[in-house]
Amino acid sequence: MKRVPSTLFFLFITIFSWSQSTKNWHWKDYEKDSVHGVSLQKAYQLLAAYSKKPSTIIVAVIDGGIDTNHIELKNILWTNPTEIPNNHIDDDHNGYIDDIHGWNFLGGQDGRNIDKAEAEKTRIYHQLKDQFENKVVDTLSMNKLQKNQFSIWQEVSKEMEFSDQEAANLQYISMAMNALKKIGATIIKDMGDSSFNANKLTPYQPNGRIALEAKAAFLRTINVLGIDKEITFPEIINDLKEYIDGKEKLANAKETKASKLRDEIIKDHYYNFSDRYYGNNDITGPNARHGTHVSGLVASFPDSSWQVTQWYPPLKIMTLRAVPDGDEYDKDIALGIRYAVDNGAKIINMSFGKSYSPEQIWVDSAIRYAAEKDVLIIHSAGNEFYNLDQKNVFPNPYSSILKDSAKNILTVAASSDITIGESLLTDFSNYGPKVVDILSPGYKIYSTLPGKNNHGFLNGTSMASPIVSNIAALIRSYFPTLTAKQVKDILIKSVWQAADKNLRYSIPQREVSKKLDEIAKAGGIVNAANAIQLAKAMAAITPAKSNKKKRPTN
């Protein structure tokens, strides 16, 4: 699931129209700019003086799709070297026809796509409902599998209860949206601007009492709802509608049977993992906003003012569409990981997660397959403000089935900055030093959006993760002798840390503060410049890998 933060404002995953000065704050350097960015320009300057030529790195992005026509992304898409485009033949005999730039595991052979999917707990609830609802259950007579199923069913049943408080909140937001529609119509008529926002409205002098009252009501309402003043009126209404639709769906989830879209569109035998050659090559899909934004951060094109644009790593982005609007399916994720590994990816970015993983073994096995092939997985921690040391979110490094921890996963929490938000920390990021490794900027992050040359700001650990993936690509490109495990260790050991490690940072809206080592194991924010310096030192003492025949990369 493309998870978003828990407060109402953050639930909106909204495009912001910030001023030029705030773009790419996450690239800045704390020593130079007094902003807690990742020191990317400084890293580029270090690489500019490095004599060795970088090698091409393939980064797989498992997400909801990518706009393949975006001006900044279309030329860095990975291209399958042994597949002839659009000839409807599986030229490389890998089971996927015309997989030119990756694969879509959410598509059907007829070209249709799954856009929205239920939460995994909803699917589990309805799968087991007939077995356990209103039944006298004798756990003593159950085998281990049945006991586990019953326990999970009880848990998801409880989570799916829609409380009176939630119902009241939903009614309140619905009323607020309807009021804003009427207020907005009055303002548009008076102001002549259908895309106004609070910052434009504040200095505006209305014509007459009705418009004046509408202005005051609008500003008061968005302040109560915690909506950013840069968001335009149409975006506010659209986001409120999405929020309300989602909550209404949740309220009716126990009575509404899980959809049969997968059976109707994909038509695979889901519980047969050997049935893996399904889907289509439409890697854009019906909604590529999240994946396009993530991919732009993986690429992280340098600012032209740096005058070192030739030094960004020659990476290629492989797209695996496997994350719908809702919870992803374990089978698609497992196959996406294996596809990425088998086709040469050395880094996999995974900006998604969920609270239940019924086919966990498939994903766990795929992650360990990636480890065997020296592939590093960068995974977002999630946006529910969970303590991951106490609550599971999947996928994660530890496998309760295999009874071990994968060494090739780096889990990333989201940081901010006092000049951007209210604190160095965010009020949405999951945390927990036993599971989370490092922090990375994830609040008001600027990147590519669908449309030929569109860009905008999004929030979340989904944004923090690909920033780290870009830095990992830099390391693997310039220092190819380093293993995935070594790169992970470098990223952890080279973080920016506060001079006073006992310093506590407030968490906005939470009335609590935490030290950085209470958020993540490294106790700091990923730093590209530090990582390059450490990688250079480590590469100097790491022997070159033996020459093996490699598959072409593009």
Provide the domain count of the chain: 3
Is the same domain home to 179 and 39? Answer: no
Q: What is the CA radius of gyration of the chain?
A: 24
Is the same domain home to 56 and 99? Answer: yes
Is the same domain home to 402 and 322? Answer: yes
CA–CA dist 494, 488 (Å, integer): 10
Q: Is residue 546 part of a domain?
A: no
Q: Which two tokens stand for residue 551?
A: 């598959």
Strand 454-458 and strand 409-415: the pairing is unpaired
Is the same domain home to 240 and 386? Answer: no
Of 104, 134, 160, which marks where a domain is finished? Answer: 160
**Weakly modelled stretches of the chain, pLDDT under 50:** 1-20, 549-550, 552-554
Contact 63, 321 (CB under 8 A): yes
In this prediction, residue 546 carries a pLDDT of 54
Q: Is residue 281 part of a domain?
A: yes
Q: Which two tokens stand for residue 281?
A: 């090559």
Q: Is residue 550 part of a domain?
A: no
Contact 487, 472 (CB under 8 A): yes
Q: Which two tokens stand for residue 342?
A: 């088998």
CA neighbor of 341 nearest in space, from 29, 95, 551:
551
Cβ neighbors of 182 (< 8 A, separation 6 or more) are none
Of 201, 219, 250, which marks where a domain is finished? Answer: 250
In this prediction, residue 13 carries a pLDDT of 37
CA–CA dist 37, 493 (Å, integer): 17
Is the same domain home to 410 and 533? Answer: yes
Provide the domain limits for residue 445: 10-116+259-540
Q: Which two tokens stand for residue 159?
A: 């989570």
Q: Is residue 547 part of a domain?
A: no
Q: Which two tokens stand for residue 129?
A: 């409902």
CA–CA dist 528, 548 (Å, integer): 30
In this prediction, residue 15 carries a pLDDT of 37
Q: Is residue 552 part of a domain?
A: no
* Residue carrying the six token digits 């086709």: 343
Is the same domain home to 491 and 535? Answer: yes
Q: Is residue 551 part of a domain?
A: no
**pLDDT tens-place string over residues 395-429:** 999 999 999 999 999 999 999 999 998 899 999 99
Length of the chain: 554
In this prediction, residue 2 carries a pLDDT of 45
Cβ neighbors of 205 (< 8 A, separation 6 or more) are none
**pLDDT tens-place string over residues 235-285:** 899 889 988 988 898 889 888 888 899 999 999 999 999 999 999 999 999
CATH number of the CATH domain containing 395:
3.40.50.200
Of 250, 277, 304, which marks where a domain is finished? Answer: 250
Establish whether the linkage from the previous residue to 395 is cis, with ω within 30° of 0. Answer: yes
Is the same domain home to 235 and 372? Answer: no
CA–CA dist 528, 40 (Å, integer): 5
Is the same domain home to 243 and 284? Answer: no
Residue 352 CB neighbours (<10 A): 27
Contact 528, 29 (CB under 8 A): no
CA–CA dist 250, 309 (Å, integer): 47
Is the same domain home to 244 and 362? Answer: no
CA–CA dist 381, 432 (Å, integer): 9
Is the same domain home to 25 and 72? Answer: yes
The amino acid at 133: E
Looking at the DSSP assignment, which residues form a beta bridge with residue 413? 439
Is the same domain home to 210 and 277? Answer: no
What is this structure's pTM? 0.89
Strand 376-380 and strand 505-507: the pairing is unpaired
Q: Is residue 454 part of a domain?
A: yes
CA–CA dist 475, 526 (Å, integer): 13
Is the same domain home to 170 and 148? Answer: no
CA–CA dist 67, 74 (Å, integer): 8
CA–CA dist 118, 250 (Å, integer): 9
Q: Is residue 284 part of a domain?
A: yes
